[in-house]
Chains A and B, each alone.
Chain A
Amino acid sequence: MSACKKSYDGETLVVKDLNLSLPKGEFLTMLGPSGSGKTTCLMMLAGFETATHGEIKLDGVSINNIPPHKRGIAMVFQNYALFPHMTVAENLSFPLEVRKIGKSDREAKVKRALDMVEMGAFGGRRPAQLSGGQQQRIALARALVFEPELVLMDEPLGALDKQLREKMQFEITDLAHRLGITVVYVTHDQTEALTMSDRVAVFNDGRIQQLAPPDVLYEEPENSFVAQFIGENNTLEGTIAEIKGDTCVVKLDGGEVIDAKPVNVTKVGERTRVSIRPERVEYNKDRLQEGAHTLKAKVLEFIYMGDIFRTRLDVAGNRDFIIKTRNAPDQARLTPGTEIEIGWLPSDCRALDAN
């Protein structure tokens, strides 16, 4: 599959100039807040919406003018969309019947698909007689039963409880990799995106803000939106005072001067938002790494969360500066009101756009 380029235009542009190509076998997640255009993109791939500009290609062939039922792209719907008047087996058999596959062949495929999702014993039931998790598995099996090249999933786990969701996340990725299918997965749950995907496309305002593997996305966000949207993030506002190669000096609004790594800032005097991950901040002097930058901070709140401590600080005027520290025997528990010194490596501190 190559070069999906599409742009969609209604009254306003919902998806603006989207370029995306994904290789066979990849698990790509479209992540973004609601209204960011990710579902529209999925609908264009499935053929339920038409791209007003640009081209969508599958295996090098343009599929813009191919109606949904001839695309051979499977989809798992948010509400599962199982046919209530058919049994589970009939549901699975449906895509095979419309493809005029013989009866014995059909039965074998249905059985294999049901076994794949460990629902072999449920073929005779109706969807209404299954739990949410079971319906989810059937929806998955139905999408895979006709061996599509590409499977689209529209927030398929949205209706499940947390525990089941985590289990299904694992099962879906496992199945996808085992069968070597290409998956485009839409979600607004960032944990889901990070744990499941080979690559994540972060959507906002109809554009892909960043397209990268999960670790790159988390550790090297390319702009403020991605840094804010993925994981927890501390920000300090300031102005660029100096840029030299891959470091820059930022003068914070509170007057402090810190070193940071310039990402999408280019010139001196530009407003910037510096981003630091809560777990990269250290307050134990012995653990501070060499070259770390220190700042004064005041403890506002200490929250014990079991595996970690979550401490809220006032740093350079930001009263929502969060740090997370592992619950280790030698880790100090901070008392609100005390003045401490915190530090981080300048490379963990990214100077991003101020939008």
Chain B
Amino acid sequence: MPYLSSGQVLWHYSFRVICGAIFIFLITPILVVMPLSFNAQDFFTFTPEMLHFDPAGYSLKHYRDFFTNPEWTGAVKNSLIIAPLATIISVSLGTLAAIGLSQSHVPGKRAIMAILISPMIVPLIISATGMYFFYSKINIVGTLWGVVLAHAVLGIPFVIITVTATLVGFDRSLVRAAANMGANPVTTFFRVQMPLILPGVISGALFAFITSFDEVVVVLFIGSAELQTLPWQMFTGLREQLSPTILAAATVLVAISILLLATVEMLRRRSERLRGMSPG
């Protein structure tokens, strides 16, 4: 960089250092957990064997525990039932709400939007308490559908936000064109509008899924002993037995999250390209 002043060069490098520092700050806690989960001992610390890269210091026993212990497998199963159901509800309702709220003639649009988004803003503990009292009145506390509904409520804001963002770029005259060509509103929605806002819907679904899959506070209130989700199991495990299986579970969760994110992002890009919205 022969033409830069020393100040500019200095800034150039300090900028990179700052970015690197932020990145490390964000990612280190997650990375540290991973090697610990291969610990041969039942401790949360790096043993001297591990630090010397002695193979005897490492083992898969916590993973074995995670995949065989009925407490953990039951929790995984529950999470894998609840998260998809909550996601489906969030996506259907959230997408409809976003489309409805994007119409120009809706009165009180901002107020409705604010209410629907509020679960994201209100402290979770408050939502959870409120839900607990309300759900116990209608007798769904401790049931599968209670947890699914609660998680759907938490997921809806994400879907609304991502779908609303895609709708901004959506050309309304396409809907008119479809109607003009003889398509009824339902056909128009599924053949024209839905495919075009799909990237937003997919992103929203991802967020809703992860929200449900990672959520612990609401489950503590609404869930029950038979209805333990993975985060619930991790939380109680942390309090009661402090077994490094939690670290194995965390690593598996991180891996799943990364995989999911990568897959969905790939899908989204592919669908964007297919829809002629980006040059690909």
Contacts and interface: CB of A to CB of B under 8 A. Distances in A.
Interface of A: 46-48, 67-70, 72-75, 77-79, 81, 83-85, 94-95, 98-99, 126-129, 142, 146
A69 B276 contact: no
B187 interface: yes
Interface residues of B, number: 23
Nearest to A129: B276
B176 interface: yes
A77 B181 contact: no
Nearest to B183: A98
B192 A95 contact: no
Nearest to A48: B176
A94 B183 contact: yes
Nearest to A127: B276
Given A83-B192, A94-B191, A98-B187, A68 B173 contact: no
Nearest to A87: B276
B274 interface: yes
A193 B25 CA distance: 67
B177 to A, nearest CB: 4
Contacts of B179: 47-48, 67-69
A186 to B, nearest CB: 14
Contacts of A146: 181-182
A81 B183 CA distance: 14
A78 B274 CA distance: 24
A129 B273 CA distance: 12
Contacts of B191: 94
A84 B179 CA distance: 16
Interface in B158-191: 171, 173-174, 176-185, 187-188, 191
A28 to B, nearest CB: 18
Given A69-B180, A84-B276, 16 more contacts: A46-B180, A68-B180, A69-B188, A75-B176, A77-B173, A77-B176, A79-B173, A83-B192, A84-B275, A85-B275, A94-B178, A94-B181, A95-B182, A99-B182, A127-B276, A128-B276
B277 A81 contact: no
Contact of A126 (B180, B187, B276): B276
A99 B180 CA distance: 12
Nearest to A78: B173
Contacts of A84: 196, 275-277
A69 B173 contact: no
Contacts of A68: 176, 179-180
Nearest to B181: A95
A67 B184 CA distance: 9
A75 B178 CA distance: 10
A83 B191 CA distance: 10
Contacts of A99: 182
Contacts of B274: 85
Contacts of A98: 181-184, 187
A142 B178 CA distance: 11
Given A67-B179, A94-B178, A85 B173 contact: no
Which among B179, B192, B196, B274 has the highest number of chain A CB atoms within 10 Å?
B179
Nearest to A126: B276
Contact of B182 (A72, A85, A126, A129): A72
Contact of B195 (A47, A73, A79, A85): A85
A48 B177 CA distance: 10
Given A79-B171, A83-B192, A94-B191, A74 B180 contact: yes
A84 B170 CA distance: 11
27 contacts: A46-B176, A47-B179, A67-B179, A68-B176, A69-B181, A74-B180, A79-B173, A81-B176, A83-B174, A83-B177, A83-B192, A84-B196, A84-B275, A84-B276, A85-B196, A85-B275, A94-B178, A94-B191, A95-B181, A95-B182, A95-B183, A98-B181, A98-B182, A98-B184, A126-B276, A129-B276, A142-B181
